[in-house]
Homo-oligomer: A and B are copies of this chain.
Amino acid sequence: MHFSLSALCEHREPKMKLAAFLGCFMLAFAAVGARIQPREPGWTGSLLVVPMDGSHWTGVKAVAEEMGRRGHKVMVVIPEVSVLLGPSKHYTTRTFPVPYGKQQLDELQARNAEVMERKQLPLLEKISTRLSNMRKFVALQRATAESLLLNHELVDFLKKQNFDAVLTSPAVPTGAILAYNLSLPAVYMLRGLPCGLDSTATACPNPPSYIPRFFTNNSDRMSFRQRVLNVLVSIVEPLLCRLIYWSTEGVASRFLQRDVSVAEILRSGALWLLRYDFTLEFPKPLMPNMVLIGGINCAIKNPLSKEVEEFVKGSGEHGIVVFSLGSLVSSMPKKKAAIFFKAFSMIPQRVLWRYTGEIPDNVPENVKLMKWLPQNDLLGNPKAKAFITHGGTHGIYEGICHGVPMVMLPLFGDQDDNVHRVATRGVGVVLSIHDITTETLVDALNTVINDSSYRQRMEKLSAIHNDRPMQPLDLAVYWTEFVMRHKGADHLRPAAHDLNWLQYHSLDVIGFLLFIVLIVTLATFKCCALCWRRCCRKLQKRKRD
């Protein structure tokens, strides 16, 4: 749209200022404006949700349900087989067939637990296992994307529903590709993209001098060595992006019937709901279409079941420890589990553990194993003294929200970076799942429970996190509704998207200015040289005369 407009913009009426300014963006605005719906009390619209399986679903589900509660028509498109995705009374679901079964998903999930043993494997085997797991994960995502996007019947059906917007996780950009194809404004919910693609796609400045890159374990205050690493990683990032999204770009290009990059698709997103805030993240620039919703799940509270309530109450003054390694890892190798069981038998607290692995005979009395854990409700209980977590963003924000210090065991993905951020705030202790022993675990638990400085700092961090003008869930719903009402958020879209790399950094202008300076300097020098030579000649001539 901007290209056709730019031609218009150059023909301005110089005669009178009356019409002079009207040319350029008026049409652009009218184009947006013509589709704007007035904001009426009780207005409801229709939302398409294309979620990603796993922990990403938690935040998306919360918004989908709340949108349904507020009377919007919400349709969630999910594969027939999934780990967590499922129906709710607040939205309708539309399933699509996939070429894999529950067993394959379970196998893949079981492999997540293998990460705990990986250090004991020889290096080559470790790398090959990791690559094989990654390949299987990518193949699964590709299969899911193909099953949705190349299902013409489903896509045609969705086209006819006249949705106002699409809510999706762009980490696996199937929903973003679908929104792009249906010409619907997209609302993205994410914590960040692994190769800095979120910065590229939002045109958000991302200086490597104080914004740590993923997987570097850097903070925002870096030594020279750390900054060198950060710059190197930021140089490699575009390549990493190509590798990660290679397969998806293939599917997208087949679906859209033209070559397309994931960056191009994500750039069309209307709004970015970011699952963080600056109690966890290091302060950095934001763009106008970024909305921070860190801690979105914290406000969703349910009462504990009678059995759990009694177990928690029975913990007395010592309180409880909540233990979960996230939605994707619920079991543990027997030997590793034994370390935890032994450590728990040595502390006075009661422990609630999400565990589906083999149960030994000698489970300590103070330990309750559960297949599913009401994590947020347990952390919100005043008896919660510590939280053993893998360091997923949802869990960490639940811990911060309720002010519970943490013992953190990062497994994969962004967890290592998350726990590093928590640790720099002095509200949690990081242990390595590979080297963990009964002693280090007991020490860590005793530290966060009995060293009052941890709880004090956590209470202060929690106070800052919870001191916000609006609940993150309400904010997410508000901005999703905004995008639906106005069919996008074009007034928040920076013009930077229309510039290429050279133009964005003004390198063409700087080159031009340097060229001018060079020309002027050369001309001046030449003139001076000419004058000098003439003077010399005259002097020589006079001398000769």
Give A residues with C-beta under 8 Å from B: 2, 6, 9-10, 16-22, 24-26, 29-30, 32-33, 36, 38-39, 204-205, 207-210, 219-221, 223-224, 227-228, 231-232, 278-279, 282-289, 420, 423-426, 429-432, 440, 443-444, 447, 453, 456-457, 460-461, 463-464, 466-467, 469-470, 474-475, 478-479, 482, 485-486, 491-496, 498-499, 503-506, 508-510, 512-513
Count chain B CB atoms within 10 A of each CB in A38, A284, A431 and give the residue with the most.
A284
- Given the complex, which residues of B lie within 8 Å of A492, measured CB to CB? 278, 283
Q: Which of B30, B287, B432, B509 contacts A227 (CB 8 A)?
A: B509
Cα distance, A505 to B56, chains bound together (Å): 34
- Given the complex, which residues of B lie within 8 Å of A288, measured CB to CB? 278, 283-284, 286
Q: Which of B29, B447, B498 contacts A221 (CB 8 A)?
A: B498
Q: Known contacts A209-B505, A220-B495; is A286 also within 8 Å of B283 by CB? A: no
Cα distance, A460 to B513, chains bound together (Å): 41
Q: Is the CB of A509 within 8 A of B467?
A: no
Q: Which of B9, B209, B231 contacts A504 (CB 8 A)?
A: B209
- Given the complex, which residues of B lie within 8 Å of A10, measured CB to CB? 223
29 CB < 8 A contacts A-B: A9-B221, A17-B423, A17-B431, A17-B432, A19-B429, A21-B423, A21-B430, A24-B219, A25-B221, A25-B426, A26-B425, A26-B457, A29-B425, A30-B426, A33-B461, A36-B460, A39-B463, A209-B504, A209-B505, A220-B495, A224-B508, A224-B512, A228-B513, A283-B491, A284-B288, A286-B287, A464-B486, A467-B482, A469-B478
Cα distance, A504 to B207, chains bound together (Å): 7
Count chain B CB atoms within 10 A of each CB in A474, A505, A509 and give the residue with the most.
A509
Q: Distance (Å) between the CB of A222 and the closest chain B CB?
A: 8
Q: Is the CB of B495 within 8 A of A221?
A: yes
- Given the complex, which residues of B lie within 8 Å of A479, measured CB to CB? 469
Q: Which of B26, B221, B513 contacts A424 (CB 8 A)?
A: B26
Q: Distance (Å) between the CB of A6 and the closest chain B CB?
A: 7
Q: Known contacts A204-B285, A209-B503; is A467 also within 8 Å of B485 by CB? A: yes
The 5 closest A-B pairs by CB, nearest first: A21-B423, A26-B426, A33-B460, A205-B205, A220-B495
Q: Known contacts A208-B506, A283-B288; is A29 also within 8 Å of B227 by CB? A: no
Q: Is the CB of B494 within 8 A of A210?
A: yes
Q: Is the CB of A25 within 8 A of B424?
A: yes
How many copies of this protein are present in the complex?
2
Q: Is the CB of A36 within 8 A of B464?
A: yes
Q: Distance (Å) between the CB of A456 and the closest chain B CB?
A: 7
Minimum CB distance partner of A470 in chain B: B469
- Given the complex, which residues of B lie within 8 Å of A463, measured CB to CB? 36, 38-39, 486
Q: Which of B33, B461, B508 contacts A457 (CB 8 A)?
A: B33
Q: Distance (Å) between the CB of A320 and the closest chain B CB?
A: 22
Q: Known contacts A24-B424, A221-B495; is A474 also within 8 Å of B464 by CB? A: no
Cα distance, A430 to B23, chains bound together (Å): 13
Q: Which of B207, B232, B510 contacts A496 (CB 8 A)?
A: B207
Minimum CB distance partner of A419 in chain B: B21
Q: Which of B2, B282, B285, B499 contacts A285 (CB 8 A)?
A: B285
Minimum CB distance partner of A453 in chain B: B30
Minimum CB distance partner of A493 in chain B: B283
Q: Is the CB of A504 within 8 A of B210?
A: yes
Q: Is the CB of A221 within 8 A of B282?
A: no
- Given the complex, which residues of B lie within 8 Å of A510, measured CB to CB? 231
Minimum CB distance partner of A512 in chain B: B228
Q: Is the CB of A285 within 8 A of B283?
A: no
Q: Is the CB of A2 within 8 A of B495?
A: no
Q: Distance (Å) between the CB of A369 and the closest chain B CB?
A: 26
Q: Distance (Å) between the CB of A420 and the closest chain B CB?
A: 6
- Given the complex, which residues of B lie within 8 Å of A456, measured CB to CB? 33
- Given the complex, which residues of B lie within 8 Å of A279, measured CB to CB? 491
17 further A-B contacts with Cβ under 8 Å, apart from A25-B221, A220-B495, A467-B482, are A16-B440, A18-B431, A18-B440, A18-B447, A20-B423, A21-B420, A30-B453, A39-B463, A209-B504, A209-B506, A228-B512, A278-B491, A283-B492, A283-B494, A284-B288, A284-B494, A469-B479
